[in-house]
Amino acid sequence: MNIIKYPARADWKTITVRPHIDMSKLNATVSEVLNDIRANGDEAVKRYEQKFDHVELHELQVSESELHEAQHLVSDDLRQALMLAHDNIRKFHEAQAFRPIRVQTAPGVECWQKSVAIEKVGLYIPGGTAPLFSTVLMLATPAKIAGCKEIVLCTPPDSTGHVNPAILVAAHIAGVNRIYKIGGVQAIGAMAYGTESVPKVSKIFGPGNQYVMAAKQHVSLGNVAIDMPAGPSEVCVIADDTSNPRYVAADLLSQAEHGVDSQVLLISTSEPMLYAVQKEVETQLQALPRKEIAAKTLENSKLVLVRDADEAMDLSNAYAPEHLIIATDHYEDLEPKVVNAGSVFLGKYACESAGDYASGTNHTLPTHGYAMAYNGVNLDSFNRKVTFQHLTSQGVRSIGRAVEVMASSECLDAHKNAMTVRLRDVIKEEKK
Check whether residue 249 and residue 213 sit in a common domain: no
Q: Indicate the pLDDT class of residue 331, thresholds 50, 70 and 90.
A: very high
Residue 254 clears pLDDT 80, i.e. is over it = yes
242/411 Cα distance (integer angstroms): 64
DSSP, collapsed to helix, strand or coil, labels residue 372 as helix
280/257 Cα distance (integer angstroms): 15
Q: Indicate the pLDDT class of residue 262, thresholds 50, 70 and 90.
A: confident
Total count of domains within the chain: 3
Which of 242, 253, 187 minimizes the C-alpha distance to 216? 187
Check whether residue 292 and residue 311 sit in a common domain: yes
204/191 Cα distance (integer angstroms): 8
Q: Is residue 367 part of a domain?
A: no
11/177 Cα distance (integer angstroms): 50
Check whether residue 236 and residue 353 sit in a common domain: yes
Residue 21 clears pLDDT 70, i.e. is over it = no
Bridge-based pairing state of the strands 383-391 and 203-205: unpaired
Residues in the chain: 432
Instruction: Mark 279-301 as b/e (b = at least 16 C-beta within 10 Å).
Output: ebbeebbeeeebeebbbebbebb
Q: Indicate the pLDDT class of residue 148, thresholds 50, 70 and 90.
A: very high
Domain boundary among 194, 227, 260: 227
Annotated active-site residue in 218, 323, 363, 368: 323
Check whether residue 239 and residue 129 sit in a common domain: no
Q: Is residue 370 part of a domain?
A: no
301/54 Cα distance (integer angstroms): 34
Percentage of the chain surpassing pLDDT 90?
A: 88
Q: Is residue 373 part of a domain?
A: no
Residue 25 clears pLDDT 80, i.e. is over it = no
Sheet holding 109-117, edge to edge: 103-106, 109-117, 383-391
Percentage of the chain surpassing pLDDT 70?
A: 99
The answer to whether 234 and 265 have CB atoms below 8 angstroms apart is: yes
pLDDT tens-digit profile of 97-123?
999 999 999 999 999 999 999 999 999
Residues 6+ apart with CB under 8 A from 118: 146, 148, 202, 203, 382, 383, 384
Check whether residue 245 and residue 214 sit in a common domain: no
Check whether residue 325 and residue 183 sit in a common domain: no
Domain boundary among 227, 243, 272: 227
pLDDT tens-digit profile of 187-243?
999 999 999 999 999 999 999 888 999 999 999 998 899 999 877 889 999 999 999
Which pLDDT value is given to residue 362? 97
Residue 366 clears pLDDT 70, i.e. is over it = yes
Which of 234, 271, 245 minimizes the C-alpha distance to 327? 245
Say which CATH number the domain at 181 has: 3.40.50.1980
pLDDT tens-digit profile of 153-163?
999 999 999 99
The mean of the pLDDT values for the chain is: 95
Check whether residue 257 and residue 147 sit in a common domain: no
Which of 130, 351, 321 minimizes the C-alpha distance to 233? 321
The answer to whether 392 and 158 have CB atoms below 8 angstroms apart is: no
Check whether residue 296 and residue 204 sit in a common domain: no
Domain boundary among 360, 381, 411: 360
Which pLDDT value is given to residue 169? 98
Residues 6+ apart with CB under 8 A from 295: 256, 285
Q: Is residue 151 part of a domain?
A: yes
Check whether residue 88 and residue 134 sit in a common domain: yes
413/131 Cα distance (integer angstroms): 59
Q: Is residue 207 part of a domain?
A: yes
Which of 337, 332, 323, 307 minimizes the C-alpha distance to 240? 307
The yes-or-no answer on residue 93 being catalytic is no
DSSP, collapsed to helix, strand or coil, labels residue 174 as helix
Check whether residue 172 and residue 87 sit in a common domain: yes
Q: Indicate the pLDDT class of residue 1, thresholds 50, 70 and 90.
A: confident
One-letter amino acid identity for 417?
N
Check whether residue 212 and residue 241 sit in a common domain: no
Which pLDDT value is given to residue 219? 97
Task: Reduce the secondary structure of 10-63 to three states and give it as a string.
Answer: HHHHHHCCCCCCCCHHHHHHHHHHHHHHHHHHHHHHHHHHHHHCCCCCCCCECC
The answer to whether the Cα torsion of 392, 396, 397, 398 is positive or negative is: positive
Which pLDDT value is given to residue 124? 97
Which pLDDT value is given to residue 302? 94
The yes-or-no answer on residue 323 being catalytic is yes
Annotated active-site residue in 257, 280, 311, 322: 322
312/325 Cα distance (integer angstroms): 12
Structural domain boundaries enclosing 163: 24-102+118-227
Q: Is residue 131 part of a domain?
A: yes
Q: Is residue 174 part of a domain?
A: yes
Instruction: Mark 325-345 as b/e (b = at least 16 C-beta within 10 Å).
Output: bbbbeebeebeeeeebbbbbb
pLDDT tens-digit profile of 77-95?
999 999 999 999 999 999 9
Check whether residue 216 and residue 256 sit in a common domain: no
pLDDT tens-digit profile of 392-431?
999 999 999 999 999 999 999 999 999 999 999 999 999 8
278/413 Cα distance (integer angstroms): 69
Q: Is residue 294 part of a domain?
A: yes
The answer to whether 67 and 168 have CB atoms below 8 angstroms apart is: yes
One-letter amino acid identity for 77?
D
In angstroms, what is the C-alpha Rg of the chain? 26
C-alpha of 406 from chain center: 40
Angle between helices 165-174 and 64-71 (to 10 degrees): 100
